[in-house]
Structure 1
Amino acid sequence: MHVTAVTTLLIPRLTAPATPLPVLTALPTALYLDAPEGVVAIVTSPHVLPPLGLALSQPDLDLRHALCDTTVTLGNGHVCIPGLPPSALAPQTERWCPSLAAHLPPHIDLDAIRALLPAMATLTPPPDPALQPVLSRATALFEALRRGNAEAVLARAATLVGLGPGLTPAGDDLLIGLCAALTLLGHALPARQSWLLTLRQQLGRLAPQTTTLSASWLTHAAAGNLQRLLIHTAQALALADAPALAQATRHLMRYGATSGWAMLAGLSQSLAALLT
């Protein structure tokens, strides 16, 4: 068994001397480890790599072999999960960069993006009553974005941190989508880049207010590093590739109970607000 894909952010950890890391959460398709640099994710599909993650070569594995009171050892090019054979970093292992900026074209047609956004606005949120507070507070966030008031954006964002259902609360996932929008437009609009990327960086200061897993992903998003499915969606928007966007949107909507929808809402509605 080998590692099929690893993010470039995790390679230093995987190639350093072996270190045991405590298990935070063990799910059938994902294992989350507590590391000094953030939460390390071990997943069974390379398509859902988080910013600090790796995928194993056997997609039918049940990662619940690693109980939450155990450790998983990473280092010396290997992953050692209790009850499973070691997985090695191999020559064919994909090294994937989780920085959205690395996947964007040099020129982005903002009018083409505007034309694609209405279709994304029709995506229906999951039928979960616990999403209602997220939806109502998100409306105020997007209005602050329309006004270009960074202080108000941060104040509204603070009301969303840790809010809503999901292993990563939906409010946090929505803010990760906002970070993706700020990264995309920071790349497309050099004249506004400083304002956009400073705002993105400031969103990372809210991370300590939420769960350990969500805080790690929000911190990465505030630095421009994102989950792979979200990068594919933002990249398709930047390329104005409608078929690729439709496919990426379908895949992201299936990610988690509410996470995929919340990231999409954060991305699309933030872009709509900032481009008005």
Structure 2
Amino acid sequence: MTIAVQRLASPILPLLTSPSRTLTVVAAYPRAAYATDGTTWLSVVTPGALLPPDALQLRTKSPLVALVPTGSQLIAGQGALLLPDGTPLTIDQQTRVWQPTLRTRWTCQWKRARLQALLDELTDPPRGDRFLATTISRSKALLAELIGAIITADRAHIAQQVDRLAGLGPGLTPLGDDLLVGCCLALTLLAARTGEERWSSLRQEIALQAASRTTPRSAAWLQQAARGEYAREFLLVAQALCRGDHPCLPHLLARVTQVGATSGWAVTFGLIATLERSILPPA
């Protein structure tokens, strides 16, 4: 028995071609599992799940909690990847290799009024307890402070707000980190729109600083953002925003905001808020 790979993120190609190594699954869910050897991360997902920049998407809908349970081990390298039970994953001519970076073949354009309307429609995730409600409110306030510091180019204040947001909240990828990833994606769009290197440099500084102060999985997520690499679904949202009032945008937003308990919402909020809140001149 073999399981075919449907999509493969280009950054993990070296993992498959290098000498064999063992990765331990640190978290497994029905449609996604995350494994690491302490330095390199691999996301194994099934169709319909978020596709991170370090992902292998399998051509199966079998629950991953059974295929790659938490604590189990994957063997990767020498052109192969073996599941814990020894089942090999196959890469064939139908496997699609994708680049987790922003691709824009057009001039980025957006209007502040439209961004503000999207922000108003982006309601907070359900606040199941007082701690989560407090975390959401505090994180949004800190993000606003960070954006203000970006506008004024106050590097000391930027660093201070990043330190406060990094690792803020529970979970594999805390809420504060997800907001920062969204902010970094907005800086990537600004770099694409203006051609100014300062936006890319600032993105790298913010992401790497936050990565040193959070959970291992979230640190990997932020290190990818530092390189301008993001989950496929968030890139699609960014590219739709870049094209103005794209007809697919409502559908894309509805999908990504449902990812995780707060992750999809937070990345999206960080992206739109950073674009809208006074970084861009009035349209």
TM-score (norm 2): 0.88
Take 1:76 and 1:46, find their aligned partners in 2: how far apart are those partners?
29
Amino acid across the alignment from 1:31: A
Q: How far apart are 1:6 and its partner, in Å?
A: 0.5
Q: Is residue 216 of structure 1 aligned with residue 220 of structure 2?
A: yes
Across the two proteins, how many residue pairs are aligned to each other?
270
Q: Which moved more, 1:211-220 or 1:237-246?
A: 237-246
Q: Which residue is equivalent to 2:238?
A: 234
Counterpart check, 1:163 vs 2:168:
yes
**2:74: which partner in 1?**
72
Instruction: Tell me which of 152, 159, 162 is aligned to 2:157.
Output: 152
The change in CA–CA distance for 1:45 and 1:150 in structure 2 (over 3 A counts) is farther
- 2:201 equivalent in structure 1: 198
Instruction: Specify the alignment match of 2:130 in structure 1.
Output: none
Give unpaired runs (5+ residues) of structure 2: 128-132
More moved, 1-10 vs 23-32: 23-32
CA contact (8 A) 1:13 1:75 kept: yes
- Inter-partner Cα distance in structure 2 for 1:165 and 1:23: 19
Evaluate the alpha carbon distance shift between residue 272 and residue 2 of structure 1 in structure 2; reply closer, same or farther with a 3 A threshold: same
- For the residues of structure 1 that align with 2:48 and 2:166, how far apart are their CA atoms? 28
Partner Cα separation in structure 1 for residue 85 and residue 245 of structure 2? 44
Which residue does the alignment assign to 1:174?
Answer: 179
Deviation at 1:37, TM superposition (A): 5.0
Instruction: Note if contact 2:125-2:261 (Cα within 8 Å) is conserved in structure 1.
Output: yes
Partner-residue secondary structure (3-state), 2:11: coil
Is the 1:77–1:88 Cα contact (8 Å) retained in structure 2? Answer: no
Q: Once the 2 structures are TM-superposed, how far is the Cα of residue 36 of structure 1 from its aligned partner?
A: 5.7
Shift of residue 24, structure 1, vs aligned partner: 1.7
**Contact map agreement 2:31 2:49 (CA 8 A) in 1:** no
Superposed displacement of residue 14, structure 1: 1.8
Q: How far 1:113 moved relative to its partner?
A: 4.1
SS of 2:35's partner is: strand
User: What is the distance in 1 between the residues matched to 2:246 and 2:15?
Assistant: 37
Superposition RMSD on alpha carbons, in Å? 1.9
Mapped pair 1:126 → 2:131: no
Q: Distance in 2 between matches of 1:269 and 1:172?
A: 15
Query: Any idea what the Cα deviations from partners look like across 1:4-32, whole Å, max 9, x if unmatched?
Result: 00101011212334322122212221111
Unmatched runs of 5 consecutive residues or more in structure 1:
none
CA contact (8 A) 2:28 2:64 kept: no
Which amino acid counterpart does residue 168 of structure 2 have in structure 1?
Answer: L
Calculate the TM-score normalised by the size of structure 1. 0.90
Q: 1:6 to 1:46 in 2, by over 3 A?
A: farther
Give the aligned residue type for 1:126.
Answer: P
SS at match of 1:229: helix
Cα distance in 2 for residues equivalent to 1:125 and 1:163: 16
Equivalent pair of 1:5/1:54 in contact (CA under 8 Å): yes
- Structure 1 stretch 47-56 or stretch 217-226: which is displaced more? 47-56
Matched letter for residue 98 of structure 2: W
Identity %: 33
Shift of 1:182: 0.5
Aligned position for 2:115: 117
CA distance in 2, matches of 1:189, 1:35: 39
